[in-house]
Each structure stands twice: as C-alpha cells, then as structure tokens.
Structure 1
Amino acid sequence: MADKRQRARVQGSWAKQLPKPQRPAAPQSQSANAVSASWGIHRQTTSGNVEFQQPIKQVRDVPSEKVIDQAGDYEISHGPSGVSRLRLVPRFLPAEEADWMFAKLLAELPWSQKTNFRQDEAYEEPRLTCWFGELPYTYARSTMAANTKWHPLLLKLRRAVSEASGGRGGDERFNSLLCNLYRDGHDSIGWHSDDEASLGRQPVIASLSLGDSRVFSLRKKPPLEENGDFTYVERIKVPLGHGALLLMEGATQDDWQHQVAKEYHDRGPRINLTFRSIFPEPQGHRPGTKLHFTDRQTDMNATN
C-alpha cells in the first residue's frame, strides 16, 4: 500500500497540469469601438494594455499667391458660378496724358469721406469718394445720391473705357462711376465683392488707376463646407500702376473678393475710377443688398 502511494505521488509530480479555463472577454460595443477609432486609440489584445496613438490629420498645402502683371486676358476660375475673367492693360493711358488727368481730377472732383454703418455702428471709410450716375448707389447701409453732373474729363474717359471693354460706336457700356481717392498708404478698402442687386448679375467692372501704384488683391470665395475659412483659397495679386486698366468680367464678383490693403511704407495719392452700370433695384430687394446671401461674404467696406 505504501509503495502504491509512493508511485502515485511520483507519477503526479510528472503529470502535466491542465490549463486553467480563461474567462471570456466582455464583448466591446460597436459605439465604443467607434469612439476609440475616432480618438486614435489602439488596443493590444495580447496584454490587455491600451495604447494611445495620435489621429492621422490630412495635410493641406496653402496655395501660393499668383501674380498678374502682364497685359492680357486671364480666366482665373471656372466655377462654381461660371467663368471668372480679368483683362489687364498696364499702359492704357500714356504716361504724360495720365499725369495731367490725375492732377485735374485730384483738384476738381467733389471728394468727400463717406460714413457707413456696420452692426448699427457708424464708421468713416478710409478713403475719399464721389459718385456719378443717374441713379443713387447704396452699399454698407449708406446711399450716395444720384449725380448727373459729370466732369467733362470723366465723360471722355468713360467713352475710351467703354470701347476698350466691348462697347461700340456711341453706345456707352457704363452709366455710372464710383471714384476713390487713396490719399496715402494708410487709405484702403477691405475684402468685398461688387455684387449689390443694383449692379445686376455678373456685372462688368472697369477699374482705371491714376497716380501712385497700389496692389490689387483677389481671393476665391471658399466652398460652403469650409464655413467661411479663407486659409486654403486661391489668391491673385495685380500691381496697378499709373494709367493701368483692369476689367473684371463674368463670375468674378460671384466667386471672388478683392481689396486694396494698407501699405505703411511711403505711398503717394492714387485715384481709382471704377466704371459700372447701375439698374433700378429689383423688386423685393432693399437698397444696397446683395444678390446672393451667403455666410462666406464679408462686409463690403470692412477696414483692415
């Protein structure tokens, strides 16, 4: 009997132990997996430890700013509202002719500083303006009265610009003119589009520059899913010198914004003549309202 117990103890010490039964892991819900994935969590199933990993972010490049400084016609975009076009004529006016025209308009036009309104607060535009046209022009909740007393030199320039932009014979393409005087580099105009309802759909704006050079900048309006973020939009810079003519055509006012930013180094006065056509306000529109109401548009005359 003792021998049997001894042999049993010896045999038991050699025998392999059976593996202990493992408790099944609790099933993880689908929502928890989704949360883990969204926060970049990786679970190690072998050790049961949780390892946190940084989520993968999409890398986006900010487009480089393009420069247009040579004469020509440019299709700057093909959507979403259609084809946007610019036409640049850097030497539309000869230098000597532009010199005396600049001096005459600077001295003889009825320049004044317009007061606008934003969020029920008044502010003065950082430049001087005057208006010519048979109809009033309203923007930034402030109206410029109709003025049919065109300066003779402005009538001459309107004919020349009208012909250059497609007008023929005595048919004037433009019936109105907004004049801007930038007294120095501190004067400016903020990001905006010339898309008031009174301008009609896809207006043609002809901009004639006299005096010191300033940079005219454009930026593409972001798609709606960007929620007004202009970080990754296309940008264009157009240096406008003495006697230069720039035409904005097609969908430029629908799909792009433009500005003349402040330049704090020495800048002399500059006159900008912006020819356009004004029509009676469409029925149902308040004076000065935009044709397209979207969150991606900024106030027309926000200061920099």
Structure 2
Amino acid sequence: MSDKRQRARVQGSWAKQVPKHSGPSTGAVPNNHQPKSGSQPPAAWGCGPQKTTTTFEFNQPTKAVRDVPPEKVIELAGDYEISHGPSGVSRLQLLPGFLPPEEADWMFSKLLAELPWSQKTNFRQGEAYDEPRLTCWYGELPYTYAQSTMAANTQWHPLLLTLRETLKQVSGCSFNSLLCNLYRDGHDSIGWHSDDEASLGSKPTIASMSLGDTRVFSLRKQPPPEENGDYTYVERIRVPLSHGTLLLMSGATQDDWQHQVAKEYHDRGPRINLTFRTIYPEPEGHRAGTKLRFTAKDP
C-alpha cells in the first residue's frame, strides 16, 4: 500500500496542468508561433536571395562639369561695358539720385495721378492675358510688341516734355517716344525680353527713369547658339533701381542681353518707370512688332 502511494506522489509531481489559453478557442496558433515553412518569400520583396547579372561601371560624364557664373551687382554710379561681342559693345550708365528727392517725390505723385494708365491685353502662344502692370504710350507713331499695338498719342504731359529735354542733354539722344509702366505693388512685373523691335532701329539707346519704390532690374546675356537656348550658364547682372535713378542702355545691349523686373513676394509700394526711346516707321517688308536681330553685315 505504501508503495502505491509513493508511486502516485512521484507521478503527480511531473503531471503539471496545461495552462488555459485566454483567447478564443479557435485552435489557431498565434502569428509569432507559426511553424516555419521551408519556402522562401519572393525575392522581389528584398527578403530572399537575389541574383544580379548587371555589372555596374563608372563612366566619365560626356559633358564637362561647369559652374554657374555668380550674379554681378551694379549699384554705384558709373559707365559699365557689360560685354563685348560680334554685335558690338553693350553699355549701361547708372545715375542714382539723378533727380533730387523733393523733385522725384513731386513728379511721382503728379504722374501717378494724371497719366492715362490702363491695363494692356497681350498674347502669349496665341493666348490672351492681361499684363501684370499698367501702361501708357506717347509718340507720333504706334508701338507694337508681343503681338499687341499701342496707338499713337501726341498729347504729351508737360512734365514729360520737360524731362525729355533734360535727358536729351545727358544722353545726346533726341527721344521721340515714351513707354510708361506702373508697377502697383510687388506682384506687378515684366518678364524676360529685349527691346529689339525693328521700329526701334539698330542698337537703340533707351533712357529708363525710376520713380517710387525700389525694384530690381535684372539682365541676362543671350546664350551662344551651341547652348540651344539654355540660359543656365549665362552671365547675369542685378541692378537695384531706386527713387530718382536714371539708367541708360545703349550699344549692343538689346542684341546681346535680355532684361526683366521680376515679381517680389513681400511688400512693395508703387513704382513708375519711364522708358524714353526713339521710334521709326516699320521697315518695309516687316510686320509690326517684328524683331530686328544682329547679323554679321551690320556696321
């Protein structure tokens, strides 16, 4: 009898109760206890062995690595020859403070209130759009650019006639026309372009008078033919134009450079830009607004 009790105690000490599963009794095995399968996951998931048959080789770039030229800044008074090329020398003359502050203030207020400002409709790739600025035109001839024409207007404001005579003495040019631009705030702008219409003649001189808030006048050089119109590596110039500043562009500037006044995304007050120029009748055989580009036969 004692032997049976002894054997029962020994067997009972090894007979531990299996713990009960707390989840539903579905008979499913938890994910972290799934039996391992002998099959490997597809190699496309990046978990299994992958075979690579491609051999990677380093090849020198076909084009030389080039640095983008730093933008130059012109802000001091002076005469600048900004480039020399087959079409000639491109020149800028910058005269900050050309008008005394009191005179510039009076002129700005008067022109802002009294000129016949309007928003011009223009065309880009056949689509009409409103120019992001206001303009008006003075001259005995109409002026066409970007497929849109401004009618002749001989009713010059007296103040503009006085300023034209002053600029004639400084530049030596008898300007007969004037394009006025009003940039109402920093969102008004004008895109990249050259003033190279045939009606402006070869190598025109343009006198640009700035009144009001300072805006940046940017220039970029025309790329050589081998660049296929890519402006990435061209020279660039930045000219801040402040209240009362005069900028003269002459020589081959309109042949070899483009310019713009870009949008600015912070507060800017209104700015008036007066661009005096000399305009001629459209050359025979040219459609109004046609560009006049430099050729090797030009003097």
TM-score by length of 2: 0.78
Give the 5 Å matches for 1:95-174.
Answer: 95-167=101-173, 173-174=174-175
Q: In the alignment, residue 202 of structure 2 is paired with which amino acid?
A: R
Match of 1:84 in 2: 90
Q: Distance in 2 between matches of 1:266 and 1:120?
A: 33
- Give how far 1:267 is off: 0.2
SS in 2 for 1:78: strand
Match of 1:53 in 2: 58
Q: Distance in 1 between matches of 2:276 and 2:93?
A: 14
Q: In the alignment, residue 66 of structure 2 is paired with which amino acid?
A: R
Match of 1:208 in 2: 209
- Give how far 1:118 is off: 1.7
SS in 2 for 1:179: strand
Q: In the alignment, residue 108 of structure 2 is paired with which amino acid?
A: F
SS in 1 for 2:104: helix
Match of 1:13 in 2: none
Q: Distance in 1 between matches of 2:292 and 2:194?
A: 11
Q: Distance in 2 between matches of 1:215 and 1:292?
A: 26
- Give how far 1:80 is off: 3.2
**Structure 2 CA distance for partners of 1:113 and 1:293, relative to 1, 3 Å:** farther
Q: What whole-Å deviation, never above 9, does each CA across 1:236-266 have from its counterpart, x for those lacking one?
A: 0000000000000000000000000001111
CA contact (8 A) 2:203 2:254 kept: yes
Match of 1:180 in 2: 181
* 1:276 partnered with 2:277: yes
Q: In the alignment, residue 58 of structure 2 is paired with which amino acid?
A: Q
CA contact (8 A) 2:87 2:294 kept: no
Which region of structure 1 is more displaced relative to structure 2, 154-163 or 126-135?
154-163
Q: What whole-Å deviation, never above 9, does each CA across 1:83-142 have from its counterpart, x for those lacking one?
A: 000000001000000000000000000000000112221001000000000000001111
CA contact (8 A) 2:218 2:260 kept: yes
Runs of 5+ in structure 1 lacking a partner?
A: 1-49, 168-172, 295-304
Q: What whole-Å deviation, never above 9, does each CA across 1:55-80 have from its counterpart, x for those lacking one?
A: 24411111000000000000000013
Match of 2:231 in 1: 230
Q: In the alignment, residue 87 of structure 1 is paired with which amino acid?
A: Q
Q: Distance in 1 between matches of 2:145 and 2:262?
A: 19
SS in 2 for 1:83: strand
Q: Distance in 2 between matches of 1:80 and 1:258?
A: 20
Q: In the alignment, residue 290 of structure 2 is paired with which amino acid?
A: T
- Give how far 1:274 is off: 0.1
**Identical-pair percentage:** 80
**The structure with more radius of gyration:** 2
- Give how far 1:51 is off: 7.4
- Give how far 1:52 is off: 2.8
TM-score by length of 1: 0.77
CA contact (8 A) 2:255 2:294 kept: no
SS in 2 for 1:190: strand
Q: In the alignment, residue 69 of structure 1 is paired with which amino acid?
A: E
Match of 2:256 in 1: 255
SS in 2 for 1:52: coil
**Structure 2 CA distance for partners of 1:51 and 1:147, relative to 1, 3 Å:** closer
CA contact (8 A) 1:80 1:255 kept: no
Q: In the alignment, residue 223 of structure 2 is paired with which amino acid?
A: P
SS in 2 for 1:155: helix
Q: What whole-Å deviation, never above 9, does each CA across 1:133-182 have from its counterpart, x for those lacking one?
A: 00000011110000000000000110111111124xxxxx1000000000
Q: How many residues were matched structurally?
A: 241
Q: Distance in 2 between matches of 1:266 and 1:180?
A: 19
Q: In the alignment, residue 54 of structure 1 is paired with which amino acid?
A: N
Match of 1:12 in 2: none
Q: Distance in 1 between matches of 2:85 and 2:280?
A: 26
Q: Distance in 2 between matches of 1:187 and 1:241?
A: 16
Q: In the alignment, residue 85 of structure 1 is paired with which amino acid?
A: R
Runs of 4+ in structure 1 off by over 6 angstroms are none
SS in 2 for 1:154: helix
Match of 1:71 in 2: 77
- Give how far 1:54 is off: 1.6
Q: CA RMSD in A?
A: 1.6
SS in 2 for 1:209: strand
